[in-house]
């Protein structure tokens, strides 16, 4: 059974990795979805980003996946708040090449139309990312994408994936 590690970015302490046992893909999806839909938790200031990655086959704990292993850079992530967030998915191959996408709720209708998603990292100014309006998710909408990725191992349809070079 697949095991997952999650990281949440906190404004005051930085990245906090979470890993617990026992776990199932469904229990991880439930925990992630609860966090994404809780306005007081995923508020865009104290907590503003989340990353979920699957441990490679045979790994019992995150530290069993060595630095540089493709599993460590294959993930689903989001940034923002429960009101407005962006989702990205990255798939890293054994040779180190990767595909990285911004995810949309529905196909982008106007490729020239952009909006900003903002979150507060307690730096001198808020962080922003520019996405198409169809790429803005609420926590409830994002929870469905995370659930399918974690429980079923599925990506959204290709028409909802915009390749980005990061």
121, pLDDT greater than 80: no
Q: Please give the distance of CA 79 from its chain centroid, rounded to a whole number.
A: 7
- pLDDT of 66: 87
Task: Provide the domain count of the chain.
Answer: 1
pTM of the model: 0.94
Bond before 38 cis per omega within 30 degrees: no
The residue range of the domain holding 147 is 4-163
Integer CA distances (angstroms), 120 to 5, 48, 117, in order: 24, 7, 11
Q: What is the pLDDT of residues 138-160, one digit of tens each?
A: 999 999 999 999 999 999 999 99
């Amino acid at each position: 059974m697949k095991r997952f590690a999650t990281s949440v970015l906190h404004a005051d302490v930085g990245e906090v990795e979470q890993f617990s046992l026992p776990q199932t893909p469904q229990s991880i999806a439930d925990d992630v979805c609860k966090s994404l839909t809780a306005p007081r938790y995923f508020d865009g200031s104290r907590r503003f980003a989340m990353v979920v990655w699957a441990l490679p086959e045979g790994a019992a704990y995150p530290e069993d996946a060595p630095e540089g292993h493709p599993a460590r850079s294959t993930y689903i992530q989001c940034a923002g708040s429960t009101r407005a967030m962006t989702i990205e998915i990255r798939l890293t191959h054994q040779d180190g090449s990767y595909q990285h996408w911004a995810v949309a709720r529905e196909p982008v209708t106007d490729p020239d139309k952009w909006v900003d998603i903002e979150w507060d990292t307690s730096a001198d100014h808020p962080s922003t990312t520019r996405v198409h309006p169809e790429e803005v998710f609420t926590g409830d909408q994002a929870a469905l994408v995370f659930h399918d990725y974690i429980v079923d191992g599925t990506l959204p349809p290709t028409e909802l994936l915009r390749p980005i070079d990061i």
